[in-house]
Chains A and B, each alone.
Chain A
Amino acid sequence: MLLRTAWRRAAAAVPVAPGSRSEAPTRGLRLRVVDHAPQSAVPSDTATAPPAESVLRPLYMDVQATTPLDPRVLDAMLPYLVNYYGNPHSRTHAYGWESEAAMEHARQQVASLIGADPREIIFTSGATESNNIAIKELESAIQPDTSLVSVMTVNNEIGVKQPIAEIGQICSSRKVYFHTDAAQAVGKIPLDVNDMKIDLMSISGHKIYGPKGVGAIYIRRRPRVRVEALQSGGGQERGMRSGTVPTPLVVGLGAACEVAQQEMEYDHKRISKLADRLTQKIMKSLPDVVMNGDPEHHYPGCINLSFAYVEGESLLMALKDVALSSGSACTSASLEPSYVLRAIGTDEDLAHSSIRFGIGRFTTEEEVDYTVEKCIHHVKRLREMSPLWEMVQDGIDLKSIKWTQH
């Protein structure tokens, strides 16, 4: 409550900048949006400042949880949200035909990104649904020797890349189905379902600057992989996923895939540079920082660091100007340390000290520098307050301490 009052007081003090569009040629009617009265759209011929993000919020460094829409994606989607609203399964009129054309074009865009045939792409509500379809498939092909290998391509907590091509090779030689959840990998690292011998792949829209609520599953046709539908109904999507395909969302997914294909190399290079910058600066200024995950087989945009003798949650709260996470968003409700960190053998105390930094397409160098500066400052401050840290500085080996219960 106190914070809110402070915000209101400070808000009154924030001046509105003079029009920064003064040099732009006027384009007729211009709306001036005032901070506190969005309804008063005052038509004005004089150029005005772009309606700034007057609600300033923390820097966004949590791209593994979700990503903002790329403006190119929104641009592709809007026509289908406002005007071309037909059901893509309507066969008898132009609304249906144009919607279907958009859906099929999007399918082609998704397929192209992973080297698949469009007929192998089924639209779903997201990677979770795709995962469920893929796993359920196991039950429908019951043979004594059938099994399924399911592996994440890029881990969402520590950014580790699995050796997908090698696993695919092994599965193919043993006639075992191979599924991969590529939600964090699609559009970020090169994937080819044929080179890597992938039979099933889950794709998520909102991890690649596309809309939320949409994804896809890739299902190999040659050799045919049979899946059982999770939801039955009108038989859409070759009977594998009934329900009206949401044209605006799949158009967004398709556009996101196409943009990702074009921008993959540029983004990867830039994100790698920013990631190096972040880790170098932090490691140079702070002792006892551990990067979780194999540094060699690692996607640079996901950096998971453990700061010894600092509690992760308190560091997160201290870094209130930056949107960060420790562990994965889907398990963040519980207070358990990450199962991933436990699995890679991280000490319990280090697991509680981990923070995940996400660097994405829109992350700037300034945001990284600011985050680093704040992180260093708060880790130092929290360590100063920590009795454990004090003991370590005095040369005591924490492992040798016998903690007793009172």
Chain B
Amino acid sequence: MAASSRAQVLDLYRAMLRESKHFSAYNYRTYAVRRIRDAFRENKNVKDPAEIQALVNKAKRDLGIIRRQTSDAQVVLSIYSRIDHHGNSKETSGSITGQQILGASPVTNANAPGPNVLALKGTGLSGLKLG
């Protein structure tokens, strides 16, 4: 296998960020995006090809985890985030909750007062900018 080129690493970075935006849970989504950016930034000056390859391999494994955890199967499992222990689906809590004010859910309520800092960030609608 040829050593990972800069282009391959960037592709991996883009793919990981893209997939991470599909986490429906606010805390997982923000963690994944933040961690990926910080990890790639931290390792950007690594020169040793063996070390680079090891990092790339780990990143590929993590990309696999992100894909599985945001896949259709997880979409089905996330139904369980909206069912109470009697198996009834729960209504959305429209009252102002902390998560709503942070725009924590991709389903943002544009009418929520207060800081809506993450309203756009959470939706994945903003285009991916490469740092």
Q: Could you list which residues of chain A lie within 8 angstroms of chain B, going by C-beta atoms?
A: 3, 6-17, 20-21, 24, 27, 29-31, 33, 35-38, 41, 49-60, 68, 71-72, 74-75, 266, 321-322, 361-364, 366-367, 369-371
Contacts and interface: CB of A to CB of B under 8 A. Distances in A.
Nearest to A49: B106
Contacts of A7: 91-95
Nearest to A59: B98
Interface stretch (B5-13, B47-55, B81-89): B81-89
B104 interface: yes
Question: How many residues of B sit at the interface, in one of the four size bands?
Answer: 35 or more
A50 B106 contact: yes
Contacts of B78: 33, 51
A7 B107 CA distance: 16
Contacts of A24: 18, 22
A27 B79 contact: no
Contact of B22 (A50, A54, A266): A50
Contacts of A52: 24, 105-107
Nearest to B81: A53
A56 B28 contact: no
A361 B102 contact: no
B115 A6 contact: no
Interface-central residue, B79, B93, B105, by most chain A CB under 10 Å: B93
A254 to B, nearest CB: 15
A195 B94 CA distance: 53
A77 to B, nearest CB: 12
A32 B38 CA distance: 33
Which 8 A-B pairs have CB atoms at the shortest separation, nearest pair first?
A: A10-B94, A321-B98, A59-B98, A52-B107, A362-B27, A11-B92, A52-B105, A50-B24
Interface in B1-58: 18, 21-28, 30-32, 34-35, 38
Contacts of B70: 50
Contacts of A60: 27
Nearest to B96: A321
Interface centre among B91, B96, B111 (most CB of A within 10 A): B91
B125 interface: yes
B127 to A, nearest CB: 8
Contact of B99 (A38, A53, A74, A266): A53
Given A58-B98, A322-B98, A30 B107 contact: no
Nearest to A263: B35
Contacts of B21: 20
A53 to B, nearest CB: 5
A59 B93 CA distance: 13
B22 A21 contact: yes
A15 B108 CA distance: 8
A344 to B, nearest CB: 30
